[in-house]
């Protein structure tokens, strides 16, 4: 059987979350270990899928550029799932990361993905803020770090080249905060990978993008035995119409002047307010 599907960006994030929930390593950690989550809209979708709770969203890319949240004292941005409970990890990030065991897992998102499967994450605050300080430690401490990232993040060129072209302090004027990039190492899971986790099928991406709300959408062909394709189809239909994941109060983007303006560089809107 052959099925053609189109997923919007938000739908893809939810599908990735369902794929992650079916991954054997995630199931094992959920049952008898710990799962560390570094907030982002795709990771928040994973958190909702696993325990029904969204995460606080900090940095984001919106029509006005690279922004952060207007409110930062709500919910959890970094958290640990243990025993079916979501536990705040922000106050003792170093301790949380060093206490992870070999079968525990980490889940982080990304802002860029290249055709070689390499990913990178934007840093808009000095040292990447609290989470930025422990990303490399997370990758060094445990083997099973997942990078959940939709194919709308695909960039031309290689991550190695792109990282070297960025840098917070190299930007003079920015739509929103100037950002740098840090490379990520881990098990990349995009919507195509999620489909492979959800059924014994083949999946081929045949188009990207669209209009009228389908900007950034992914169109795919799914092939396989009828029962497997139908199983995947049912899961895909369950995410159709999905909205962005994230704690609602944190989805409001920052407006200058804001307390975070003092740590963000080159923001055009901050300068605009000062003139």
pLDDT, residue 260, reads 85
d(CA 13, CA 152) in angstroms, rounded, equals 10
CB contact at 8 A, 92 and 85: no
In the predicted structure, residue 139 carries a pLDDT above the cut 80: yes
Residue 81's CB is within 10 A of a number of other CB atoms, namely: 25
Predicted confidence (pLDDT) per residue in 222-250, tens digit: 999 999 999 999 999 999 999 999 999 99
Residue 221: phi, psi to the nearest 5? -110, 130
State the average pLDDT for the chain.
Answer: 95
What are 152-184's pLDDT values in tens digits?
999 999 999 999 999 999 999 999 999 999 999
Structure tokens at 100: 């992870």
Sorted by sequence, the CB contacts under 8 Å of residue 53 that are 6+ apart come out as: 47, 86
**Average pLDDT of 9-25?**
98
pLDDT at 274 over 60: no
Query: What percentage of the chain reaches a pLDDT higher than 70?
Result: 99
Task: Give me the pLDDT at residue 30, please.
Answer: 97
Per-domain residue ranges for the chain?
A: 10-190+242-274
8 A C-beta contact, residue 74 and residue 88: no
Rounded mean pLDDT of 209-225? Answer: 97
Q: Which residue is associated with the tokens 């704690």?
A: 247
Contacts of 262 (CB under 8 A, 6+ apart): none
Mean pLDDT of 187-198: 98
d(CA 11, CA 16): 9
Looking at residue 169, what is its pLDDT?
94
Alpha-carbon 183 to chain mean position: 14
Q: Give me the pLDDT at residue 252, please.
A: 94
| Residue 209 pLDDT > 90 | yes
Average pLDDT over every residue of 65-84: 92
Q: Please classify residue 24 by burial: count the beta carbons closer than 10 Å to its beta carbon, then call 0-12 exposed, 13-18 middle and 19+ buried.
A: exposed
Average of per-residue pLDDT across 205-226: 98
Q: What is the number of residues in the chain? A: 275
**Between these two residues, 131 and 74, which has the higher pLDDT value?**
131
User: What pLDDT is stored for residue 59 in this prediction?
Assistant: 95
192 in Cβ contact with 205 (< 8 Å): yes
Residue 273 has pLDDT above 80, yes or no: no
């Amino acid at each position: 059987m052959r099925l053609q599907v189109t997923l919007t960006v938000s739908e893809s994030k939810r599908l990735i979350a369902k794929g992650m929930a079916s991954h054997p390593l995630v199931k094992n950690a959920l049952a008898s270990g710990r799962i560390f989550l570094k907030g982002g809209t795709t990771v928040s979708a994973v958190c909702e899928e696993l325990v029904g709770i969204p995460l606080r969203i900090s940095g984001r890319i919106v029509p006005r550029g690279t922004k952060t949240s207007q409110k930062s004292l709500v919910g959890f941005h970094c958290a640990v799932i243990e025993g079916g409970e979501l536990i705040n990890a922000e106050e003792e990030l170093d301790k949380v990361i060093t206490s992870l065991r070999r079968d525990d897992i980490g889940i982080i998102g990304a802002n860029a993905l290249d055709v070689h499967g390499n990913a990178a994450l934007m840093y808009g605050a000095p040292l990447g803020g609290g989470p930025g300080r422990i990303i490399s430690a997370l990758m060094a401490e445990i083997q099973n770090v997942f990078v959940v990232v939709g194919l709308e993040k695909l960039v031309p060129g290689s991550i190695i080249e792109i990282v070297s072209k960025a840098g917070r302090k190299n930007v003079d004027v920015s739509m929103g905060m100037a950002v740098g990039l840090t490379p990520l190492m881990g098990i990349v899971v995009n919507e195509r990978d999620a489909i492979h986790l959800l059924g014994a099928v083949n999946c081929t991406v045949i188009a990207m993008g669209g209009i009228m709300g389908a900007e950034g959408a992914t169109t795919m062909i799914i092939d396989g035995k009828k029962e497997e394709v139908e199983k995947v189809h049912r899961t895909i239909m369950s995410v159709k119409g999905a909205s962005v994941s994230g704690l609602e109060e944190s989805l409001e983007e920052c407006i200058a002047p804001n307390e975070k303006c003092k740590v963000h560089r080159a923001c055009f809107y901050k300068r605009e307010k000062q003139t």
